[in-house]
Amino acid sequence: MAKYVTQCKLNFYESKKAGKIAIVTMDNGESYNIPNTWGFEALESLNKVLDIVEADPDVKGWLLTGKPFIFNVGADIMSVDPAMSREDALQIGRTGHAAFKRIMDLKIPTLAAINGAAMGGGTEVGLYHDYRTISESPGGCDHYALPETFLNLIPGWGGTQLVTKLAGPEVAIELIITNPLSMNRMINSKKAFKMGLADRMFKPVEFVDESRALLERIITGEEKIERKSVDPKVSDELYNNTKLAIMGKVHSGAIAPFKALDLIKGAAGWSWDEGFEQESQTLADMIKSNQFLSSVYSFDLTQRRAKKLPGRPPKEVRGYNINKIGIIGAGLMASQMALLFAQRYQCPVVMKDIKQEFVDKGLSYVREQLGKTAQKGRLSAADARWIGEDLITGTVTYDGFEDCDFVIEAVFEEVGIKQKVFGELEGVCKPECLFLTNTSSLDITEMAKNLKDPSRVVGFHFFNPIAVLPLVEIIKAEKTSEVALATAFDIAKKIKKTPVLVKNAPAFLVNRILLAWMDGIFQCIDEGADFMQVDNAVVDLGFPMSPFTLAALVGPAISLHVQETLNAAWPDRFPVSAGLKNLVAKGKKSLLTFTETGIDVDPEIKAGWPQGNKSFTDEEIKDRVMERVALEVGLILKEGVVASPKDVDTGLIMGAGWPFFMGGVTPYLDQKGYSEKICGKKFHGANPLETA
């Protein structure tokens, strides 16, 4: 038997007033850190329990629940073999439907007692019951979701049909499409109860007992569950608006959300069996798609591999303890860092800037953000005051830096300024204090060269906005010590960021690829392609935002600075864009502007952008851009900037929001033939999960 297999354990409870009740507990025998999942063996276990219950005429009710803190989090997608036949993929859907529908067909009242996390097939099995109770959060069911479209699947065991008919199409669309496409947002028990997905909500402490007591009252007729009637029909307006919303998130790139929408729409006209078969057929198609393989690869990168901290020195190398933190700078990036470090470490954090007004502005930002968090109920008002007023302080001198365990700088992007800051810190800080730099592109070895001890310097590059993007690039300079490197990885883990080890090379990893991506875009524009055609063609691949929107978010001046850094290293591959220089010189913050007819390129920018007269098709634009990306990724791997294609993809997913269904980028480049055309070989074998 495979490790961690969930078993459905049957016990009978003899109720004095209701008779014999089957209590079924899903349990894999492990702690809550190893959640219950569904696989063929688990479904077989459920079927065996159902055989016993169906054969016993004395059983008057059925209650399904999970082990402590966990109901069931769905199918184990990592066990799905991408090489399976479509018929085998079809059986996955049919087997789950068949097992769960046996619960629906029982001739006795059935109740799902959702005591903890419920996702995917775990959420779906609950929906087959006559009644549902849910454990109140926090501490009960804190995570309730149908996240399949996030992984380019569809809820394949009843979700699209059951939610639509039980709670209505608006709820189904929110749970199955909107939430997964919003960074895989989960809901909690309170929201699930409000949406009509549970009939009663009980406190965690007596949850199972109260759920059983409710079932007893239902069996005896003492209590009747009343629900609002819902219309499962999807109106044309709702369908069209949802389709537009999906386009706004994934454009025409991802397939699954559109397939899920069609299944939700079809639910009103199908019988249960017809709807379940439609789900099984669609699920089989999705399992056999490249997008699902890439999504599983992405999931594995971000949920399993990243947690092992690849690149960290061996565990024998112990990092320093952190009890006080210094930050040089009080601008937006520095203030975000101060907030994050104080919340995660709950230790003193001191921010320094050259003027008191800058310090005051940074502190004001931190306190404002803490206040907003407290208003949302995610932090007590007392803790918000403690962090913002007691833990985080500001200064215009180096007083308070002498006992810091690490200091991170976020000052102006000039090597000379950063060398000066580190030199001043070396004269103030204790010898074991580490110096981290948040530089986005500069040479860290050069930054550290004038120090008596350059081994204490390490790159620690956040991505903006820090609260949203999980990536930290950890850059090892020429003389960075193993202890400094180990400490940097430990810091990333403590603040719940995903670290990727990167060689000290111009623009490091993510910015180098993004600038290559932009270079491909600028090439098309420079040669004559229409600005908006290029913007629309590239975003249509499925990126979270268009190139021009991203350029505005990053800031043209920063993009130009990174481009100039790369141009100095590789002038043949990274020419400085005359159009971008003109954009920055004019003080413009974006290429786009609002017009009477919508959004268009700023005419002043267009007039100052040298262009040829070549025309492009949308496909030619996409090819030019992705071929340019393939070239740079190949060179990054050849130069050893990172150790593996998996590091490339982790960086792009976690630091730039590149789509799961692309696998970041390298599986997509393989699938579309770009890697072989440009680099002469694929980055992966047939299955990217097998790549080291």
- CA 308, chain centre distance (Å): 17
**Is the pLDDT confidence value at 690 over 70?**
no
CATH code given to domain 325-503? 3.40.50.720
- How far apart CA 409 and CA 13 sit, in angstroms, is 63
| pTM, to two decimals | 0.87
Query: pLDDT digits over 624-642, tens only?
Result: 999 999 999 999 999 999 9
**Is the pLDDT confidence value at 109 over 50?**
yes
Residue 289 φ/ψ, nearest 5 degrees: -85, 150
Query: pLDDT digits over 11-31, tens only?
Result: 999 999 999 999 999 999 888
Give the pLDDT of residue 686. Answer: 66
- How far apart CA 309 and CA 663 sit, in angstroms, is 19
Architecture of the domain delimited by 7-288 = Alpha-Beta Complex (3.90)
Query: pLDDT digits over 299-328, tens only?
Result: 899 988 999 999 999 999 999 999 999 999
CA-based nearest residue to 461, from 353, 333, 564, 640 = 333
**How far apart, in Å, are the Cα atoms of 628 and each of 7, 477, 551, 565?**
50, 28, 18, 18
Query: pLDDT digits over 394-436, tens only?
Result: 999 999 999 999 999 999 999 999 999 999 999 999 999 999 9
CB neighbour class for 79 (10 Å; exposed up to 12, middle 13-18, buried from 19): exposed
Was domain 510-640 assigned CATH 3.90.1150.10? no
Query: pLDDT digits over 119-131, tens only?
Result: 999 999 999 999 9
**Position 689 confidence tier, pLDDT thresholds 50, 70, 90:** low
CA-based nearest residue to 25, from 68, 74, 64 = 64
Domain ranges of the chain: 7-288, 325-503, 510-640
Give residue for tokens 């089989």.
284
**Is the pLDDT confidence value at 1 over 50?**
no
Give the pLDDT of residue 171. Answer: 97
Query: pLDDT digits over 231-270, tens only?
Result: 999 999 999 999 999 988 887 778 999 999 999 999 999 9
